[in-house]
Structure 1
Amino acid sequence: MGDLHPVTIVIIVLNALVSLKGFNDFSFREKYLFNIGAIRRGEQIRMISSAFLHANPPHLIFNMLTLYFFADAVIFALGTINFIIIYVGSLLIGNLLSYFFHKDEYHYSALGASGAVSGILYAAILLNPEMKLAFILIPIPIPAYVFGIGYLLYSIYGMRAQNDNIGHDAHFGGAVGGYLITLFIAPFLLETSTLMVILLAIPIIILFVMIKLGKI
């Protein structure tokens, strides 16, 4: 990727510093994580502050590595301001979706930058349709859009099953935020990447149909 853009470095450092504080200070983490009851009492700051906290070092490292690999591609294509808009917008949309699904669960809590990072990931896929990803366990590079669609479908499954502690709704909401905001900023993608726009819309349509049918 070359040298990281200063904005990417600032975001990674902020996440690291706030998360490290949270690892060592339980009261600090509890004060700023996403919590339905607290938000409904008026502590809306948690909608943003929770995205700079992480559950543990692996959680932090995974999110920041993902940001490291994809952030500069978005900055290079759309500029710093638009990158920040996508990052913050995806963060908020992810948490708003979590709020929508858990608004009556006063003890529900969550934390992490996954929503914002998912938004950047999907923006990068839209902007670079030919992008390929390689994983340690999968030596053959796969198209990024295959990973993206699979990621959203798995998030839908997780939202429906609710059998783990992962905030799948925030992941999905962040990805949707990145998708929609990127298309708003760069509408030319509707013409230059029409197939990719359609393919990435499929899981989003599936989710809304399942919500309409009461399946989630």
Structure 2
Amino acid sequence: MLTFALIAATLLVSWLAFNNPKLLHRLILWPPALQRQHQYDRLLTHGFIHADWPHLLFNMLTLYFFGRGIEQLMTELIGPGVFVFFYLSAIVVAILPTYLRHRRDANYSSLGASGGVSAVLFASILLQPWTLIFIPIPVPAIVYAIGYVAYSFWMDRRGGDNVNHSAHLSGAIYGVLFMLLMEPRIGPYFLQQLTSPQFR
């Protein structure tokens, strides 16, 4: 499965960056590097490095649990490789608002796969809104989604915790829009699922 390949690649690159500050600094999203040196690849590479092991494992576990189903659906609807495009493009799209906001800020940097992972998570919620997510108590996915968006929006406005909540929001929106554009029938299906709760 391509989901496993993405997880493996992220684990490997993150682990290498943990032990190699030079590599970390080359891959991280640092706005002046794009402005001055045109290193636009950082819009993607920042999604393959993480701040620490908990940050990395949380993102990869989420990708593992929700990515496989989305990959299977996308493969059936369009073909193999679409999921990889979806995930990688989500990393880029999710970071763009942050980059535009901080493009002249030499003191700002960002890293982590959260934007891409948020896209996968919210794409999955469209298909199974009542699936239970354990965080650590079981919560229906749709309830989690509402809380996640509200919290991310509030914390993005508040700031100060060194977490890129803007990328979480952008990734979530991108995941929903990508799914609806890919297969418009998912919209009515989601609404039908909402009115027929099935917890699993």
TM-score (norm 2): 0.89
Query: 3-state SS of the aligned residue for 1:107?
Result: coil
Deviations 1:178-210 (A, max 9, x none): 11111111111222223789xxxxxxxxxxxxx
User: How large is the RMSD of aligned CA atoms in angstroms?
Assistant: 1.6
Distance 1:167 1:74, change over 3 A: same
Contact 1:82 1:185 in 2 (8 A): no
Corresponding residue for 1:11?
A: 6
CA distance in 2, matches of 1:114, 1:196: 26
Structure 1: gaps spanning 5 or more residues: 1-5, 198-216
CA distance in 1, matches of 2:13, 2:96: 22
2:140 paired with 1:151? no
Deviations 1:112-162 (A, max 9, x none): 0000000000000012223221233x2xx2210111111111111111011
Contact 2:51 2:112 in 1 (8 A): yes
| Moved beyond 6 Å, runs of 4+ | none
Query: 3-state SS of the aligned residue for 1:179?
Result: helix
Deviation at 1:100, TM superposition (A): 2.4
Deviation at 1:11, TM superposition (A): 0.6
Distance 1:154 1:196, change over 3 A: farther
Contact 1:50 1:111 in 2 (8 A): yes
Corresponding residue for 2:34?
A: 39
Distance 1:196 1:43, change over 3 A: farther
Structure 2: gaps spanning 5 or more residues: 195-200
Corresponding residue for 2:197?
A: none
Deviation at 1:78, TM superposition (A): 2.1
Corresponding residue for 1:205?
A: none
TM-score (norm 1): 0.82
Contact 1:77 1:127 in 2 (8 A): no
Q: Percentage identity across aligned positions? A: 35
CA distance in 2, matches of 1:99, 1:176: 17
Q: Which of 165, 168, 185 is residue 168 of structure 1 equivalent to? A: 165
Q: Which of 69, 76, 80 is residue 65 of structure 2 equivalent to? A: 69
Number of aligned positions between the proteins: 189
